[in-house]
Amino acid sequence: MSTQENYKNVRIVLFERDSDVRQAIKSTLSQETFENILATSGLKTAQASIFNDSADLVLVDIDHDRKSICTMMQKIRQNEIGDNPFPVSIAISGNSDYVNVRQTFNAGFDILLLKPFSMSTLTQRIYQLMKGRSPFNITSDYIGPDRRQVSPTKRNQRPVTLVTVPNPLKIRANGEITNVQFQRLIKESIVEVNDQRVLCHGEKIGDLVGSLVSKYMLEGLDEDFSAELKRLKFICADMDHRLRRSKFAHVAELGSTLLSVVDRILECPMSPESRDIDLMQNLSSAISRAFMANEKDVKAAHSISSTVRAIA
Nearby residues of 217 by Cβ (< 8 Å), 6 or more positions away: none
Task: Write out the DSSP string of 53-102.
Answer: T--SEEEEE-SSSHHHHHHHHHHHHTTSSSS-S--EEEEEES---HHHHH
- In this prediction, what percent of the chain has a pLDDT beyond 90? 72
pLDDT of 211 higher than 60: yes
Q: CATH number of the domain at 156, please.
A: 3.40.50.2300
Q: What is the pLDDT of residue 54?
A: 87
Reported as a pLDDT band with limits 50, 70 and 90, residue 295 is: very low
Model confidence over 154-181: pLDDT tens digits? 544 556 779 999 999 999 998 878 889 9
pLDDT of 150 higher than 80: no
Are both 170 and 62 inside the same structural domain?
yes
Helix (H) or strand (E) holding 245: none
Short-list 73, 29, 170, CA closest to 39: 29
Q: What is the pLDDT of residue 8?
A: 87
Would 268 be classed as within a structural domain? yes
Short-list 11, 35, 39, 36, CA closest to 25: 39
pLDDT of 40 higher than 60: yes
Domain carrying residue 305: 189-311
Are both 48 and 154 inside the same structural domain?
yes
Reported as a pLDDT band with limits 50, 70 and 90, residue 4 is: low
Q: What is the pLDDT of residue 301?
A: 52
Of 7-21, 76-90, 120-134, 285-299, the one with minimum mean pLDDT is 285-299
Q: CATH number of the domain at 252, please.
A: 1.20.120
Last residue of a domain, one of 146, 174, 202: 174
Q: What is the pLDDT of residue 239?
A: 93
Would 238 be classed as within a structural domain? yes
Would 181 be classed as within a structural domain? no
Are both 161 and 17 inside the same structural domain?
yes
Q: What is the pLDDT of residue 121?
A: 96
Distance (Å, whole) CA 312 – CA 310: 6
Are both 202 and 146 inside the same structural domain?
no
Are both 99 and 206 inside the same structural domain?
no
Count of structural domains, the chain: 2
Helices 295-311 & 274-290 angle (0-180, nearest 10): 160
Are both 47 and 94 inside the same structural domain?
yes
Would 145 be classed as within a structural domain? yes
Are both 200 and 294 inside the same structural domain?
yes
Report yes or no: 70 and 103 within 8 Å, Cβ to Cβ: yes
Would 252 be classed as within a structural domain? yes
Are both 100 and 76 inside the same structural domain?
yes
Would 221 be classed as within a structural domain? yes
Distance (Å, whole) CA 150 – CA 152: 6
Model confidence over 49-93: pLDDT tens digits? 999 888 999 999 999 899 999 999 999 999 999 889 999 999 999
* Backbone phi and psi for residue 230, each to the nearest 5 degrees, phi listed first: -65, -40
Are both 30 and 165 inside the same structural domain?
yes
Short-list 35, 96, 34, 36, CA closest to 62: 96
Last residue of a domain, one of 117, 145, 174: 174
Are both 193 and 163 inside the same structural domain?
no
Instruction: Render the burial of 200-234: b for 16+ CB within 10 Å, e for the rest.
Output: bbbbbbeebbebbeebbeeeeeeeebeebbebbbe
Read off the pLDDT of each residue in 189-218 and give the average, rounded to a whole number. 94
Would 233 be classed as within a structural domain? yes
More confident residue, 155 or 28: 28
pLDDT of 37 higher than 80: yes
pTM of the model as a whole? 0.84
Read off the pLDDT of each residue in 130-154 and give the average, rounded to a whole number. 83
Q: What is the pLDDT of residue 1?
A: 47
**CA torsion angle 151 157 159 164 (round to 10):** -90
User: Between vectors from CA 119 to CA 113 and to CA 120, what angle results, nearest 5°?
Assistant: 100
Read off the pLDDT of each residue in 144-158 and give the average, rounded to a whole number. 65
Distance (Å, whole) CA 204 – CA 221: 20
